[in-house]
Structure 1
Amino acid sequence: MRGHLVVCGDTPLAFRLADELATRYLQDVTVILPSKKRNHGPQIAELPRVKVHEAHELNDEAFRDVNAEAASAVALVGNSEVGNIHAALRVQELNPGARLVIRMSNTSLGQRIRTLFNDCAVLSDGAMAAPSFVAAALGDPAPSHVRVAGRTLYVARRSDRPTSIICGLADTRRSEGNPRLLPDPHESANLVLAVADKTPRDPLLSHRPHRSQVSGLTRNLALILNRRLMQVAVSLLAVIVIGTVLLSIAAHYGLSESVYLVLLDLAGAADPEPSLGGPAKLIQVVVTLASLALVPAVTAAVVDAVVRARLAGPLELREPISGHIVVVGLGGVGLRVVAQLNDLGVPVVCVEMNEDAVGVPFARREGLPLVIGDATRKETLRSAWVSTCRAVVTVTSDDITNLEAGLSSRDLKDNVRVVLRLFDDDLAGRVHRNFRIPVSRSVSFLAAPAFAAAMMERLIIGTIPVGRKVMLIADVPIAQGSVLEGRPLSDVNQPGESRVLALGRRGGPHFDWAPQAGYRLVRGDRLIVLATRTGIGHVRARSISPSQAPPALRMREESPGG
């Protein structure tokens, strides 16, 4: 890295990112934000190795004040996507060689935006965090597929007996919220990283509802059609059927002839018959009047159903449902969680207080049940049938709302699985211990490692959330004069921190997925490494040349206990 790092924003992601760069990578960071006293400014200002520069606008003057012309990387992680793009264009004009990392929730637009810059990564924190929320809601590891050097890796349980295990990933049996990562020996891990070898598998099969098409159609019709109009139509139809039988008896007609006469009455072609007796005449009149009323009743029911389906969009939960997942909050993160659950075939009920939320149009377009209301009120949660659901995922942007909705859900169903989105890590830990809520996650916590890795100019292969922790897969080159040059490959493998998945010798295009532990590393070698946030920082520090390493790290590596 040829210069310092710049982070723009006072968001939770900006705080997590600055902390990651300063404490994990030991980098000098300058953060540009509007005020040290607002939002996450006070927390950012207290971070070590971090300088704060106050600027109300990300203009050329602000970037010159922090010497952005010499920065090696600049991260734009503010809430305004337009502002992030505008600021990135300014930085490129001042420093064409700087690496840009832009936060954007619109990933399709982001892929087009990145082509406008020389060296740019466009990342979505919501997209990175959503798989973790989905995994927590299902109580299983998400089907995390990562394409690495021509192979597809995925996370699986050892009990599923995957055929090609690379290494043990974590032991989650001790504590769901605090798993033991990269245990030694790796056979003790119940969660593993494996290579997809075209073996048929469906890790989420047990989560898919087994409903027939007929039962699904019946349920949907029951929810769409107006109950009162249908009751009227059924009553009139019953009168007509009974009238047909009585007419056959009173007038001494055969059943087929009675049906014929009633069908004519239904068509409005009633033919008076003076020779009929009094009871038969009365029956014919009643049937005729019921027939006249049936046609508009059925028409009204059909028209009402069509209008309500088009205007209201999602189905209203009038009938009890069970086995579903309730997602509270349809913002950027909630939208992605709902979309992934829906794609996996898991029944979802959405709860949102604001009808203008970004995820509401998606729910209506997909015909998903949607409850508009305050999720902190038990009446709203009852409307979403929390009492019979499988899990509740609260992903609004407010910690208190998420916590209150989670606790209220527990009141309605004591054993319901609750997944909270909480920024405050200390609060998350205390909630886990005191309220028996096993899983709580912060979007910025899950996304920050990938943003930091992108700023450090390494290939971002993927992130793997495990409980409340995050693991990284990175491509690490061995530099000349680095600590690792000349050392055996086994030195990189540190229990609980890092493990080499594959070795690319001298920068060659092919990787060895079963390298010898005694192989001596040389400059130009590339390592595909699976590591914790701490582990990836240590591996990087030992793989770079001495001139790039901070003095504190050089002293640490040269010490006898290093």
Structure 2
Amino acid sequence: MVVCGDDGLAHRLAAELRGVYREQVTLVVPPAGRRVRQPVVGRARAASAALRDMVSAAVNRTGNGEQGVAGRELEASEPTEDVLADAGVERAGALALVYDDDETNIRAALTARRLNPRVRLVLRLYNRRLGQHIEALLDQSAALAAGDGRPLRADGVESSTTVLSDADTAAPALAATALVGTSKIVETDGLLLRAVERNPPLPGQVADPGLCTLALLSATSNDPAGADGSEDSGEGPQLLPDAAAVRAATGRGTVVLEQVSYSGPSLPAGRASVPPFAELFSRRLRWSLAGLAACVVALAVALMLVTDDHPLHATYVTLLDLFSINEPAHNADSGRQVLQLLSGFVGLLLLPVLLAAVLEALGTFRTATALRKPPRGLGGHVVLLGLGKIGTRVLTRLREMDIPVVCVESDPEARGMATARRLRVPVVLGDVTQEGVLEAAKIHRAHSLLALTSVDTTNLEAVLYGRSVRSGLRVVLRLYDDDFATAVYRTLRAAHPGALTRSRSVTHLAAPSFAGAMMGRQILGAIPVERRVLLFAAVEVAGHPQLEGRTVGEAFRAGAWRVLALEVADGAASGEGEADVDADVEGEVRRGSRLVWDLPDTYVLRGEDRVVLAATRRGLAELLGRRTRERFPG
């Protein structure tokens, strides 16, 4: 495996491949003086080396004669053709390009495909539409190079190109933490799966298991979302427990899986910049217009009483007098003359009001694309700190769920500013470390704070200040280092025991998906359980003796993997080919989905089946381990 990158994701991905999948990895990183976010990269590099040493020591203790996890590291400013050749791309099974710049990844991918048409490529691209085109282009190139139209490697493993985004991978979990009851979400086949944390049932109560029980939470953790345990420690939650373990667990919270429908309408992009009618005019101007309309009605009623005229004709004459286009009432009685003078006076008052309305409307349309300020009386909203790549994706997710958001950003040219304008989300420009910035975002009335900048200390400072303003504020920190996150959580829990504190690492959430793609597996998503991760993957049953020919109950291995759903053919999903589906699951296909949930334990998995399963990282590595292994020299 070859991993090329310039930030912490490259080192985290290398550690994942070495420690979980036991792969030989060549890591290509820029020289020390040119690396992005040097402190974070340094911690990631140390974590990678520590994990590699730990796995090697564990292997040596088994005494089975296996060698330790091998790997090497190269330093290069850019992934040029010579650098990729030196890294062994021509002989590599997979190549991950996880540079922060999309153009660098695309250029290197085109070069790598020319050097080795059969290598499995995994690209990190933020532009999703461009990623789809690049993925199709590189797959087509590999198929043509294979000659038979199928991009296969020499060991029989199918070659492919996978385009992923760390922002898209982490955004659902980060956005969901701002909501009560939707702390962890993964999307598969257009469906939303929600992992819900539930407190231990009271005596006499029966806990609802949902679709299945994913984990038993730490018995010592009052806030399951911010775990004490580090990512690789043996302490913490029990993932994928069996029924006996669930029954035996007392006083421990659980994480259960639920299937939910998508809620919250998307904001129409075409009308996002057009304000509603009520926002065209100020409140004072609306009252002025209402008062003038009342005067017109009163004058029309008075004219009808004085002249005994028809109501419609009286209103018409009043409007003519109002706009000064009626003939003077020289020969009329005194009452008619007085009403005409009053109508003319009201008409004079109407002119400045109409002019103000026009000016306000033009000003409102002119500033419709500008940044909005938090409205008065706003409360129960989410304060989102940082509009970079991650913050932009999280903002989009929150608005899709119709959650009120106020953003705080120090850079007026940040990546997410255009998205905030399009979605008409209030934005406060300023440094969060300066006094008054969070107050402008109405932090004292906010429901939660999402601190998603790329600087851990900035996120921590914002959270500490938010808690000083409102002690019960729900906070979500984007923290990279496990030890730092553990120390922060313990301190905040001790100081604010009644508030929820959660820490998330983007590289930690994204690395399993990238590693699974390099192994040729389709990772649908990852759900954090405390400081550990549970993966959801789509797997072909054929070729896996742990699944093929076994029932769903027999295929389940506690603490490793569990089959959740069965993917059926398009005809069966539409009701045209249900004869091909086993009788045990016939009729269970959800409308608009190709997945069958609530599989009975007696259903026998066949070789042609494709299933969705939940697995731990090591469980997935064991279940879907490579049949062959290339040994890189050196």
TM-score, scaled to structure 2: 0.68
- Summarize the alignment of residues 463-478 of structure 1 with structure 2, pairs less than 5 Å apart: 463-474=526-537, 475=539
Q: Deviations over 1:25-78 (max 9, x none)?
A: 222211111113542553455423442211112111111222221111110000
- Judging changes above 3 Å, is the alpha-carbon distance between structure 1 residues 494 and 76 closer, same or farther for their aligned structure 2 residues? same
1:424 counterpart residue number: 481
2:591 counterpart residue number: none
**Which residue among 128, 146, 152 is the counterpart of 2:188?**
146
- Summarize the alignment of residues 193-208 of structure 1 with structure 2, pairs less than 5 Å apart: 193=257, 202=261
Distance in structure 2 (CA, Å) of the matches to 1:153 and 1:279: 72
Distance in structure 2 (CA, Å) of the matches to 1:101 and 1:361: 28
Q: Tell me, yes or no, if the aligned pair for 1:270 and 1:288 is still in contact at 8 Å.
A: no
1:335 counterpart residue number: 392
**Which residue among 531, 544, 553 is the counterpart of 2:615?**
531
Deviates more, 1:461-470 or 1:389-398: 461-470
Q: Tell me, yes or no, if the aligned pair for 1:44 and 1:50 is still in contact at 8 Å.
A: no
The amino acid across from 1:537 in the alignment is A
Q: Tell me, yes or no, if the aligned pair for 2:285 and 2:357 is still in contact at 8 Å.
A: yes
Q: How big is the shift at 1:84? A: 0.1
Distance in structure 1 (CA, Å) of the matches to 2:606 and 2:317: 97
The answer to whether 1:447 aligns with 2:504 is no
1:54 counterpart residue number: 75
SS of the residue 1:138 aligns to: coil
Distance in structure 1 (CA, Å) of the matches to 2:600 and 2:18: 34
Q: How big is the shift at 1:503? A: 9.0
Distance in structure 1 (CA, Å) of the matches to 2:123 and 2:346: 68
Deviates more, 1:93-102 or 1:343-352: 343-352
The answer to whether 1:182 aligns with 2:240 is yes
SS of the residue 1:140 aligns to: coil
Q: How big is the shift at 1:20? A: 0.9
Distance in structure 1 (CA, Å) of the matches to 2:191 and 2:297: 66
* Structure 1 residues not aligned, in runs of 5+: 209-218, 551-562
Q: Tell me, yes or no, if the aligned pair for 2:406 and 2:441 is still in contact at 8 Å.
A: yes
SS of the residue 1:473 aligns to: strand
* Structure 2 residues not aligned, in runs of 5+: 53-69, 143-159, 199-205, 228-236, 248-252, 266-274, 494-499, 568-579, 586-598
Distance in structure 1 (CA, Å) of the matches to 2:365 and 2:483: 45
Deviates more, 1:102-111 or 1:267-276: 267-276
SS of the residue 1:322 aligns to: coil
Q: How big is the shift at 1:333? A: 1.8
Distance in structure 2 (CA, Å) of the matches to 1:158 and 1:244: 66
The amino acid across from 2:173 in the alignment is S
1:558 counterpart residue number: none
When the two structures are aligned, how many residues end up with a matched partner?
A: 514
Q: Tell me, yes or no, if the aligned pair for 2:329 and 2:336 is still in contact at 8 Å.
A: no
The amino acid across from 2:559 in the alignment is G
- Summarize the alignment of residues 85-100 of structure 1 with structure 2, pairs less than 5 Å apart: 85-100=106-121
Identical-residue share of aligned pairs (%): 35
- Summarize the alignment of residues 69-218 of structure 1 with structure 2, pairs less than 5 Å apart: 69-117=90-138, 118=142, 119-141=160-182, 142=184, 144-147=186-189, 154-155=193-194, 157=196, 166-172=211-217, 174=219, 175-177=223-225, 178=227, 179-185=237-243, 187=246, 190-193=254-257, 202=261
- Judging changes above 3 Å, is the alpha-carbon distance between structure 1 residues 476 and 30 closer, same or farther for their aligned structure 2 residues? farther
Q: How big is the shift at 1:536? A: 2.2
Q: Deviations over 1:500-551 (max 9, x none)?
A: 44799xxxx989944569x9x999998754212233234345xx54x6499x
Distance in structure 2 (CA, Å) of the matches to 1:282 and 1:370: 54
SS of the residue 2:411 aligns to: coil
Distance in structure 2 (CA, Å) of the matches to 1:76 and 1:262: 76
Q: Tell me, yes or no, if the aligned pair for 2:6 and 2:99 is still in contact at 8 Å.
A: yes
**Which residue among 16, 21, 24 is the counterpart of 2:17?**
21
1:213 counterpart residue number: none
- Judging changes above 3 Å, is the alpha-carbon distance between structure 1 residues 232 and 380 closer, same or farther for their aligned structure 2 residues? farther
The amino acid across from 1:35 in the alignment is P
Q: Deviations over 1:325-377 (max 9, x none)?
A: 23222222222222222222223333333333232222222333333333444
- Judging changes above 3 Å, is the alpha-carbon distance between structure 1 residues 494 and 364 closer, same or farther for their aligned structure 2 residues? same
Calculate the aligned-residue CA RMSD, in Å.
4.5
The answer to whether 1:382 aligns with 2:439 is yes
Distance in structure 1 (CA, Å) of the matches to 2:402 and 2:207: 23
- Judging changes above 3 Å, is the alpha-carbon distance between structure 1 residues 411 and 243 closer, same or farther for their aligned structure 2 residues? farther
Q: Tell me, yes or no, if the aligned pair for 1:421 and 1:442 is still in contact at 8 Å.
A: yes
Distance in structure 1 (CA, Å) of the matches to 2:472 and 2:415: 31
1:63 counterpart residue number: 84
The answer to whether 1:367 aligns with 2:418 is no
Q: Tell me, yes or no, if the aligned pair for 1:35 and 1:41 is still in contact at 8 Å.
A: no
Distance in structure 2 (CA, Å) of the matches to 1:242 and 1:485: 82
The answer to whether 1:298 aligns with 2:354 is yes
Q: Tell me, yes or no, if the aligned pair for 2:186 and 2:524 is still in contact at 8 Å.
A: no
SS of the residue 1:144 aligns to: strand
TM-score, scaled to structure 1: 0.76
The amino acid across from 1:169 in the alignment is L
**Which residue among 398, 402, 406 is the counterpart of 2:459?**
402
